[in-house]
Chains A and B, each alone.
Chain A
Amino acid sequence: DAGVIQSPRHEVTEMGQEVTLRCKPISGHDYLFWYRQTMMRGLELLIYFNNNVPIDDSGMPEDRFSAKMPNASFSTLKIQPSEPRDSAVYFCAIFAAGSVYTFGSGTRLTVV
């Protein structure tokens, strides 16, 4: 997990609040992915970036979700307003051509 740092590790928030999840890739990459993991749906791809540009956001469930990548070393996933059904573990992963995915340790989000 050393190649990707995610924060916070755990987040508990009340319904309606804004939540911002952070991802800091440490090692070199061409692509950055945001995934959501739940027991019911498994790992779902939400959005991914290539050289900081969003390529495919078709997995973003609603307009309440947004993601940015202002530079190669930082990305955020924002949920506003949050709902209980957003509770999940959110993973950031990076990929470089010719390599394999490296995942962060994830952020466990609980919306009450």
Chain B
Amino acid sequence: SQQGEEDPQALSIQEGENATMNCSYKTSINNLQWYRQNSGRGLVHLILIRSNEREKHSGRLRVTLDTSKKSSSLLITASRAADTASYFCATAHQGGSEKLVFGKGTKLTVNP
């Protein structure tokens, strides 16, 4: 299976702390994306990092990619209660980059 794996499955932190979520995948990729899902809603795109990039920032989000280890991490700095959601990594593989393969997600709870 090409499916990625997020780690941890669940994470609970206090407001103001940083949250780090990891993702591993199995085959060569074209790009890797992170999505957020609030309860009962669809997924919303957060950030995309290409296979030739190592780090990317967007506001309080920082994504790293290590293609040699086939892994990525998503860091949310200065977390807020509103960041409570599930976070998914998704990989677009070479030779079929329109098709995304999603991991099972990390459920993040930020306590006020």
Contacts and interface: CB of A to CB of B under 8 A. Distances in A.
B41 interface: yes
A34 interface: no
The main secondary structure of chain B at its interface with chain A is strand
Contacts of B48: 100
A4 B43 CA distance: 12
The main secondary structure of chain A at its interface with chain B is strand
A82 B88 CA distance: 29
Interface string A49-60: 010000010000
A45 B99 contact: yes
B33 A103 contact: no
Given A100-B33, A100-B48, A42 B41 contact: no
A45 B96 CA distance: 14
B41 A1 contact: yes
Interface residues of B, number: 20
B3 interface: yes
A42 B102 contact: yes
Interface in B1-54: 3, 33, 35, 40-45, 48
Given A42-B104, A100-B48, A48 B42 contact: no
A45 B101 contact: yes
B104 A103 contact: no
Contact of A100 (B40, B45, B101, B103): B45
A42 B44 contact: no
Contact of B43 (A31, A95, A103): A103
A25 interface: no
Nearest to B48: A100
Given A1-B41, A42-B105, A104-B42, A56 B99 contact: yes
A104 B41 CA distance: 8
B51 to A, nearest CB: 16
Interface of B: 3, 33, 35, 40-45, 48, 88, 90, 98-105
